[in-house]
């Protein structure tokens, strides 16, 4: 049998095909290796018992084009929570702008404070209140509790102290934002008369059936019109 000659065009075609196969294999590998919570995501269909879509934002989202977001979003944005403060001295540099833009558009808006368990709870509450003057139409204020400490009892007491101060000043019972693990191990057994907003990025809507849970943050990888970076996606059991 005569030996086949490998001409230059044939070699180029073969190399091109091999390169395409390598790229395809890599894409498939990344697709299956990337955990679901690390993939870009749009709004999910509302789970049973949930009625409204919303987002939460901070300086990480930059200058948001609210008009584009509202007009181009695949769903109606029914509520937005905005970061206002953190600890005893950090004011989010997009807080005032976001609050102004949302109130101007009559979108239900709420403020949240990122709680630092190593700092005085009362001072954190007063710092939050210094920079947030709520309107009657606003959503309840939120305390964002993400950092655990060596003492669950102290954390619970400090969170309650913050909430009591804010409730006395605003007349509204604050919402507790936390992840599902902290809700289950720290707050669930003790905080029976409080409302929760839970971060849980697995596709487990049955975890959200506790009647105290009124908001579910199901993704931190949302991509929506008007926001260039990732944004947190939420749904609520409240009909806005």
Whose tokens are 């989202």? That residue is 61
Give the DSSP H or E segment for 238.
Answer: none
Q: Where is 128: in which H helix or E strand?
A: helix 121-131
Tokens standing for 65?
A: 């084009």
d(CA 159, CA 152): 11
**What's the rounded Cα separation, in Å, for the pair 151 and 204?**
29
Nearest 10 degrees: Cα torsion 157, 161, 163, 165: 170
Q: Which of 63, 67, 146, 203 is catalytic?
A: 146
Please say whether the dihedral angle defined by the alpha carbons of residues 121, 125, 126 and 128, taken in this order, is positive or negative.
positive
Q: Answer for the pair 208, 188: CB distance below 8 angstroms, yes or no.
A: no
Question: Can you tell me the distance from the alpha carbon of 65 to that of 47, in angstroms, rounded to the nearest whole number?
Answer: 28
Looking at 56, 86, 92, 158, which residue is catalytic?
56
Residue 146 appears among annotated catalytic residues: yes
Strands 90-91 and 77-86: antiparallel
Q: Active-site positions?
A: 56, 146
């Amino acid at each position: 049998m005569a030996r086949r000659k490998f001409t230059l065009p044939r070699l180029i075609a073969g190399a091109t095909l091999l390169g395409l196969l390598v790229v395809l294999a890599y894409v498939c590998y990344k697709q299956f290796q990337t955990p679901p919570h690390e993939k870009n995501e749009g709004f999910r269909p509302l789970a049973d018992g949930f009625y409204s879509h919303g987002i939460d934002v901070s300086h990480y989202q930059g200058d948001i084009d609210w008009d584009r977001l509202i007009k181009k979003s695949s769903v109606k944005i029914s509520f937005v929570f905005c970061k206002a403060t953190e600890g005893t001295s950090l004011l989010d540099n997009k807080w005032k702008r976001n609050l102004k833009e949302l109130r101007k558009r009559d979108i239900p808006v709420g403020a949240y404070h990122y709680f630092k368990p190593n700092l005085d709870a009362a001072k954190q509450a007063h710092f939050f209140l210094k920079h947030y003057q709520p309107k009657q139409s606003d959503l309840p204020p939120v305390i964002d509790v993400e950092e655990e400490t060596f003492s669950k009892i102290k954390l619970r007491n400090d969170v309650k102290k913050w909430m009591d101060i804010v409730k006395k000043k605003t007349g509204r019972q604050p919402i507790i934002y936390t992840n599902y693990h902290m809700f289950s191990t720290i707050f669930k057994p003790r905080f029976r008369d409080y409302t929760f907003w839970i971060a849980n990025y697995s596709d487990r809507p049955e975890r959200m059936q506790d009647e105290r849970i009124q908001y579910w943050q199901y993704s931190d990888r949302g991509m929506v019109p008007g926001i260039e970076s990732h944004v947190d996606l939420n749904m609520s059991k409240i009909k806005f």
